[in-house]
A and B are shown apart, each in its own frame.
Chain A
């Protein structure tokens, strides 16, 4: 109860400040008047009576002050004073203020920008309801190491039936379809999804409905489709009558049954269209338990953890392994949180950047602390006077920290503005494509982070001069001449800060150097083919034009031999475009994300198990393929025209195949078949051996499986063209497009990219990190140099008198130079030494982001060299100034 009374009084005091002050004034003067009157009555002379009354009362101002404190929240009141005082002092030295605020703005702004990126890829950033309960189920296989493979429709159906951890499970796979019949033919990024997909994600349609269970039955295909809001507006003019309309996708009519809301783009973040999973592949293919390729999503029941779901799925995988040993040996399930799948890959890079930018901030803080210490040296007298007047040490400390917090606060405000721009620039210029739902911005969390950072910095930075002020010896400080000589302790502290700055700059520079080197290694990496001047593009030839409609798994079926028609004809036409040096056809190209794997068996091989059953990625290619991409032919030859049929037994393999099964033997003529040795598949004969290609990723393919090449039989609807050009590849995109359209306007041309671009996209995350690390390192270098320059020139100005005496006594300029530079050089050496040690330790931590670099790399040495030279220059300039000191003026300097 009393507490309420107090709070009430104090709140009143806050509002009625002026009146309370007046009342207090009146109350005290009443008291003094009464006492004076009494003394007068006692016969004391008027002027003595007044003095006596005051003496009797004590220090009026002090008591007034104390009384006022009773009313107020004392800490708040003094804070208010301190802040006002801080602003006053800062205004008095604008140069210092601007430099300090700028340094802090860069540090705090950088941290804010990176934090807002990190924060926006956190778990609940996913644009689905309760995203922390969403998981993706991966079919895994244990081979030399665990490999992710996705699952098959029968496995998925069993998972769905047997598991109890999930609200529901839904198959999903990404694939493009060709939209025809509306304006221009276009490839549309789409998702094949089972009916529960939408409810699992919590997505509801804006119009119509999503798929029903009846449309989810394999073998009874329902050709229905759901459109995205974007596609509906872009291609159908936001037709309000769209539901019920028929559209043509890849030559098949589909009925539109719904349109999703604008923000829904599926789990691939770019889907524009959804079709039932039941039409994913022909029923016979979907019935194969061993035909794996997609990873379903699922929603955990409330309260079920990922670990619990994982252990249940482990059990189910065991059950399936026992029931179907032929297809499910060593097959497991991995339950992975969806957010890890969608944005997890960005996190390590962002955390590295967060660390780097935190270093930049620390360096900025060290700089500001240094400046503050230098200032507090010149403020020794002020501080001494305040102490003498009774300011407690704690009070003084609080005031100095308030001052630095005001500085960091200003820095934070400037930094926020800076971050706002930086984030937009980062996302726009980044070589990494952020998911569309990652929208970094300055929200409350980011603001809270910035406030916390700036307060922490303020306290850290203010602590240094604060501790300094505590050690001031009043007597000597007050007696000293205005220009105080630098205390030994503060010099040591300042030196320590410079050393720390340099060490951190070294770490950043080494880090940036390593990143740059690592990215260069990645770019310079031999991908197994020559990527420059190669244009990759895909065309989708409408089914009506293709001899047989369904794509056939290689070597399984035996349809009658077909002469190559359309693809080959297209190739001949493209070859006539000026600037085209060579063209090749294939089912997929390196790094374009296509292609599939098969198990195979080599004639005469020893028995194998699930771990080492031979597996290879297969591609069908035209004879020009190896020459166009400049993939070396190690032995034998490429295909011949007569071999370009689906049943041809000719096979070209990459070196790993022959090295595994026939080391040291003549590989040409050896035989291989798809499937197991015992299968009925026909034998294929090796006619050529080619070099390994980094077909599926840089710096290396995810698995060590080799590639095998079959003759291009022109039976696939989707064809990749590799065009080697004699002019810049991008200039040929339009002419080739125009040419293909002139052949048949219903052939969509898509996924055009130069091979260099495909390689660049493989290295984008590393380049992004490298780029930013470089920026941070440059800032760190600049700040560290400013820091050391500041310390050195302060040192020189402190010693002006001493230098003057030395010069007067006959010292030469070179001696002075040596004295000052030597001092700085010592600091530089220590700082760099510590930095190198720290960098070596840190390098282990970031090694996952690096490729083919060791800490003792040349790049790092160069970076350190640059730092040392620049830092020495920062020492040299003030030293040079010192030698120009006029002895006479220096001695009169006081």
Chain B
């Protein structure tokens, strides 16, 4: 069991990991490793997820019905599990994104006050 430690670099706000995963999958089906790569690269290495933390999240989203998983072949022809957004996953992403925008700009506004 052990304590869950938060990622070493950019600290993820609670709940944002789910949103990032959904965002990553919005562009197409990916396996777990590719999702980790995407988040790292797209955030210019600011958001470094402890990679293992990805999997509980992926499975949680799958159980929730937002993702669908399928086994397929990776680029180097290894067996990998690919995740795809479902319709309700897409809806969830829109909601999360909109919510995130609101919160982020609100935080920004606060921070920009003199």
Contacts and interface: CB of A to CB of B under 8 A. Distances in A.
B52 interface: yes
A390 B1 contact: yes
Interface string A1-32: 11001100110000000000001101110110
Which of B56, B71, B76 gathers most chain A CB within 10 Å?
A: B56
A60 B50 CA distance: 11
B64 A2 contact: yes
A683 interface: no
B17 interface: no
Given A2-B65, A9-B63, A28 B1 contact: no
A67 interface: yes
Contacts of B16: none
A221 B51 CA distance: 100
Interface string B25-39: 000000111001000
Contact of A70 (B5, B50, B59): B59
Contacts of B65: 1-2, 5-6, 9
Contact of B5 (A56, A58, A61): A58
A35 interface: yes
A869 interface: no
Nearest to B59: A70
Contact of B55 (A5, A35, A63): A63
A56 B51 contact: yes
A242 B62 CA distance: 77
A66 B2 CA distance: 10
A31 to B, nearest CB: 5
Contacts of B51: 31, 35, 56-58
Nearest to B63: A9
A26 B53 CA distance: 16
> In the complex, which range does the number of interface residues on chain B fall in?
20 to 34
A27 to B, nearest CB: 5
Contacts of B80: 27, 30
A59 to B, nearest CB: 6
A808 interface: no
A389 B60 CA distance: 25
Given A27-B32, A58-B50, A59-B52, A66 B4 contact: yes
Contact of B2 (A23, A30, A389): A389
B95 interface: no
Contacts of B53: 58, 63
B79 interface: yes
B88 interface: yes
B111 to A, nearest CB: 31
Contacts of A26: 79, 81
Given A63-B56, A66-B56, A71-B63, A31 B33 contact: yes
Interface string B59-73: 110111100000100
Interface centre among B33, B55, B76 (most CB of A within 10 A): B55
Given A389-B1, A390-B2, A391-B1, A57 B59 contact: no
A38 to B, nearest CB: 9
B88 A2 contact: yes
Nearest to B51: A57
A372 to B, nearest CB: 24
A162 interface: no
Nearest to A33: B78
A158 interface: no
A27 B63 contact: no
A1 B88 CA distance: 10
A34 interface: yes
B63 A30 contact: no
Given A23-B81, A31-B51, A33-B78, A70 B60 contact: yes
Contacts of A57: 50-52
B79 A31 contact: no
Contacts of A391: 1
Contacts of A60: 52
Given A2-B88, A33-B78, A60-B52, A65 B32 contact: no
Contacts of A27: 31-32, 55, 80-81
Contact of A9 (B4, B5, B31, B62): B62
How many of chain A's residues touch chain B, expressed as a range?
35 or more
A526 interface: no
A609 interface: no
B79 A62 contact: no
Given A2-B64, A59-B2, A31 B32 contact: yes
A62 B1 contact: yes
Given A6-B63, A9-B63, A28 B55 contact: yes
A700 interface: no
B91 to A, nearest CB: 10
A2 B88 CA distance: 9
Contact of B63 (A37, A65, A70): A70
A58 B7 CA distance: 9
A520 to B, nearest CB: 64
B7 to A, nearest CB: 9
A391 B88 CA distance: 35
Contacts of B76: 37
B60 to A, nearest CB: 4
Interface string A379-394: 0000000000111000
A802 B55 CA distance: 55
Contacts of A70: 56, 59-60, 62-63
Given A2-B64, A66-B56, A30 B78 contact: yes
Contact of B33 (A2, A10, A35, A62): A35
A390 B33 contact: no
Contacts of B55: 24, 27-28, 31, 63-64, 66-67
B59 A67 contact: yes
Contacts of B31: 27, 30-31
B74 interface: yes
A130 interface: no
Interface in A63-79: 63-67, 69-71
A12 to B, nearest CB: 10
Contacts of A58: 5, 50-53
A67 B56 contact: yes
Contact of B79 (A1, A2, A30): A30
A565 B18 CA distance: 109
Nearest to A56: B51
A65 B3 CA distance: 12
Q: Which of B2, B71, B81 has the most chain A CB atoms closer than 10 A to its own CB? A: B2
A1 B64 CA distance: 10
Residue picked from B3, B53, B59, B79, most chain A C-beta under 10 Å: B59
A390 B2 CA distance: 5
A63 B33 contact: no
B1 A5 contact: no
B22 to A, nearest CB: 14
A69 B62 CA distance: 13
A37 B78 CA distance: 13
Contacts of A2: 64-65, 88
Contacts of A389: 1-2
Interface of A: 1-2, 5-6, 9-10, 23-24, 26-28, 30-31, 33-35, 37, 56-67, 69-71, 389-391
13 contacts: A2-B64, A23-B81, A27-B31, A27-B32, A34-B33, A58-B51, A62-B4, A62-B52, A63-B52, A63-B56, A69-B56, A70-B56, A70-B63
Given A10-B63, A31-B33, 6 more contacts: A5-B63, A9-B65, A28-B52, A34-B33, A56-B50, A61-B2
Name the 8 nearest CB pairs between A and B, nearest first: A5-B65, A63-B52, A58-B52, A70-B59, A66-B56, A58-B50, A34-B33, A9-B63
Interface of B: 1-5, 31-33, 36, 50-53, 55-56, 58-60, 62-65, 71, 74, 76, 78-81, 88
